[in-house]
Homo-oligomer: A and B are copies of this chain.
Amino acid sequence: MADTLPATVHLVGAGPGDPELLTIKAVRLIRDARLIVHDGLVSDEILALASPDAELISVAKQRSRHSMPQDAINALLVRCALAGEAVVRLKGGDPFIFGRGGEEVDACRAAGVPVEVVPGISAAIGAAAQAQLPLTHRDASSAVTFVAGQCKGLTDQDWSGLAGKGRTLVIYMGVATAAQIADKLIADGVSPGLPVAVLENGTRADMRTLRTLLADLGDMVEREAVISPALIVVGEVTAHALAQDVLVGWAQRQSNGAEMRS
């Protein structure tokens, strides 16, 4: 038995990058924290909100070594809390949208550690706002799905039916595999002519929003030298975005192709 009562672990979403897109609650917890365990998606500007006395532990990928395995992160959170040290576990975006927050919550609860989750603006929701790209739209989409391009193996994932008419598919972490993603969707029956947008550096000042058609996605990512982090949005809603059309002939297709919006 520990001598002290376990402290609480707060899993806190740090949002998409812009510190103004933190929630009030996240700012309060970051400012009051004595110990912050954060990953690489959390920007320096956000970490700068922490007290100078706070201890910051990064579990991010370093140049020469891998990121801390998830089991080790879980164990670290539990060990600190059982020793009576409250932990703010700061994660990019939202803890429950590809943040592996579920596993950390499971580990805390299994160890009898109190845990609370503070939601954050997920990367796609932040980037879509800045690009003026409605993820749902009365005329174009009544369902929006989030998947991850590098969550488990891409080929192991079943995305059938998630993209197409009346649906929006958002792919996180898909830039490196953009060509395979396009092939996978087309093999699943998605039209090669469906518009797609790529949102690079979402919510940052240097954000780029590029638009093309699904069949061109892989080539476009290479041609335009898109870098991570970036999101891929597949669906008719992308026609509404503020975006740079990078497929030759796009403008003509759009002006002729009223059926794409209907």
Contact = CB atoms under 8 A, between A and B. Distances in A.
A121 B23 contact: yes
A117 B103 contact: no
A119 B94 CA distance: 13
A22 B24 contact: yes
A24 B25 contact: no
A133 B96 contact: yes
Nearest to A172: B136
Given A20-B25, A22-B24, A23-B22, A125 B96 contact: yes
- Number of this chain's copies in the assembly equals 2
Given A122-B125, A145-B145, 18 more contacts: A15-B23, A24-B27, A94-B125, A95-B129, A98-B136, A103-B137, A119-B128, A120-B121, A121-B121, A136-B146, A138-B152, A142-B147, A142-B148, A143-B145, A143-B147, A143-B157, A143-B162, A158-B166
A61 interface: no
A55 interface: no
A135 interface: yes
A144 interface: yes
Given A134-B102, A146-B144, A237-B102, A96 B128 contact: yes
